Amino acid sequence: MNNNKNEDFSKVLWKWLCFIWVIPYIGIFLNWKFGLEVGQLGSYGDFIAGTTVPLLTFVSFLAIVRTLGVQEEQMSLQKKDLQTSLNQMAEQSKLLRIQGFENTFFNMVNLHNEIVKKIKDRRAPKDLYGKELFSLFYAILEQAYTSKKEEISEKGLELEEIQCVRMAYDDFIKGREAELEHYFRSLYSILKYIDNSNLENNEKLSYVEIIKAQLS
């Protein structure tokens, strides 16, 4: 599109130049045709000089304006190319950052799953281990919570719900620290790694959903 405009303008400019330089040759033709003396062409020469110089100046001005326009178009194209390159570099940088994050993230998830497989409870049947234990853990924790609520009610105490849950958990975790502390540390480390990343919030949530899918 721009090339066509440049070609059209060049043709117009060339026509102007040709028209300007034809004028002196008219004087030569008149001298030859009518046998005029050179001195008689003086007034004609003054006329040509008075008209040609402004026309040349005008054509030069047009050429300068067009040159500036072409330079502006080239700078605009260069700016667009530079912006496109910067956008591509930003996208590549983002992809590399996400790839680096995911490599570490999924390694942490795999390690967490290995920890889950090895969880045991000395008070549970020997053939019950790993994820299968969590249903038992939940039942035990629920029973501890119910007992703690009854105990608090009998004593006439008024405690917030979170305090009751913490007291029930303290009773549940006794004797199970070794089996579960490593599990909770691993889970916490993964969530902290997601939270400290440079990802957008919606991207972080998608990885949190992956962690939630690992839970029993």
What confidence tens digit (pLDDT) does each residue in 13-54 have?
A: 666 666 666 666 666 666 656 565 555 555 555 655 565 666
Confidence (pTM): 0.56
For residue 8, which of 79, 72, 69 has the smallest C-alpha distance? 69
Cα 136 to Cα 12: distance, rounded to the nearest angstrom: 91
pLDDT computed for residue 104 by the predictor: 94
pLDDT computed for residue 181 by the predictor: 87
What torsion do the CA atoms of 66, 69, 70, 72 make, to the nearest 10 degrees? 160
Q: Computed from CA positions of residues 52, 57, 62, 64, in that sequence, does the dihedral angle turn out positive or negative?
A: positive
Under-70 pLDDT residues of the chain:
1-56, 58-59
pLDDT computed for residue 40 by the predictor: 52
